Amino acid sequence: KTAYDIRVTFQETIIMTNDYFKGDAMITIEAAESKNIPQVLELWWKLMRYHVPFEPMFEGRPADAKLFEQRFSDRMEAEELKAFMAMENDEIIGCTWYVEQGHPPVYTKARYGYIMGMMVKPGHRRSGVGTMMLEKIYKWAESEGLDRLEVQIVPGNEAGYSFWKKQGYDAY
């Protein structure tokens, strides 16, 4: 099995506003901070469990949760790992994780952004929340001088594949 690798250039992106109203609640996209790590990781674990039927390697080991939380925290504090949260009032309803990666320097474009994952709670899917988080990642990538983003989709995750395809990403 191999994951689908998909990419897009910034010229193909759809620009959306940073927040929008859903009924009486306003949804905002904010940078995650150290204090948010437990809630962010709760969504990360849900995303991993979602993928288990497609790929058993995503089965988590709850005994190692604290170790993973520390590693995640260390990478955020070192600014190696970035995360955005979709917030509705004080509740995190979605999250995305991303890093800067690099190809060997023989390539003309050695640096790129890698989206490690994105999760939106079920009651908020198909409402633009994922696209709003992606727009924040585009702004981050542009500020870092990156013009390429990559993401992997687990085979069988048709909902994920559909989302990324809708965003203009293609398999390569």
Q: What is the pLDDT along the chain (172 residues), one digit of tens a residue?
A: 344 444 444 433 333 334 444 555 689 999 998 888 888 888 888 888 888 999 888 887 877 778 888 888 888 888 888 899 999 988 999 999 999 998 888 888 788 899 988 999 989 988 999 999 999 999 999 998 888 899 988 888 898 899 999 998 887 7
Cβ partners under 8 Å of residue 12, min gap 6: 168
In this prediction, residue 7 carries a pLDDT of 47
Tokens at 147, concatenated: 């013009």
pTM above 0.85, yes or no: no
Whose structure tokens read 């790129």?
112
Distances (CA, A) of 57 to 49, 53, 72, 157: 10, 10, 19, 14
What's the CA gap between 102 and 85, in Å, rounded? Answer: 25
